[in-house]
Amino acid sequence: MRTFDEIFELAVARKGHDALEAELQFPKPRDEIAATPDDRFLSLMTKCIFQSGFNWKVVEAMWPGFEAAFDGFDISRCAMLHDEDFERLVSDTRIVRHGPKIRAVQENAAFLSSIIEEHGSAGAFFAGWPVENYIGLLDLLQKKGSRLGGNTGQYFLRFAGLESFILSGSVVNRLIAEGVVAKAPTSANDKAAVQAAFNAWRAQSGRSLTEISRVLAMSID
């Protein structure tokens, strides 16, 4: 496995140093994540779910309608959605009328409610999660949340500002090239190997998982 500096130089050779640095993304400060209102996490989860497999721009353009239809993604209200609410929502032209994804709003509101009950707020929970076990947070979203596995959960955490990596095709190809995994990581062992590699590159570079993820993506032809 190459060092981070060696991979960085591969990315520089492709993009140029200034262009590479300009394309890097950075996580939010932990205190900013902690101060994020609970409803914003449910809103963002929902947006990522509805954008998955659909035209992102269409969902973005409709988002004010989503906010209105789901009462600003108030956690308590969304957690208590009942059959009459679902019947109304699947006919609501302000949103994308996809029954299982609409149901996921209620399920994820219940998921966040349990987090809030235990940690005081969703922001405190996400801000306090250890970076060294980011894979564990992805696993939690997949197991306890609704429709938050795979890229959906990864994009949610990235857009929420957490220090994170996204296992895009380019990132996976770099991980394969470095001998970290032989294919897209799905097993517990492969996921642990990916986390260990990112942790090593983070220690070497002093950069965030977010930055490292972008560098890996841009190091591949």
Contact 44, 156 (CB under 8 A): yes
Contact 101, 126 (CB under 8 A): no
- Tell me which amino acid residue 193 is: A
Measured over the CA atoms of residue 214, residue 171, residue 142 and residue 80, the dihedral's sign is positive
Contact 184, 177 (CB under 8 A): no
Q: Tell me the pLDDT tens digit for each residue of 111-145.
A: 999 999 999 999 999 999 999 999 999 999 999 99
| Domain boundaries of the chain, sorted by first residue | 4-27+165-218, 34-130
Arithmetic mean of pLDDT, 46-50 = 98
Q: Which CATH number fits domain 34-130: 1.10.340.30, 3.40.1390.20, 3.10.310.30, 2.60.40.420?
A: 1.10.340.30
Report the pLDDT value the prediction gives residue 221, as an integer from 0 to 100: 80
Report the pLDDT value the prediction gives residue 45, as an integer from 0 to 100: 98
State pTM to two decimals.
0.96
Cα–Cα distance measured from residue 13 to residue 89, given in angstroms and rounded to the nearest whole number = 51
Arithmetic mean of pLDDT, 150-176 = 98
Arithmetic mean of pLDDT, 53-80 = 97
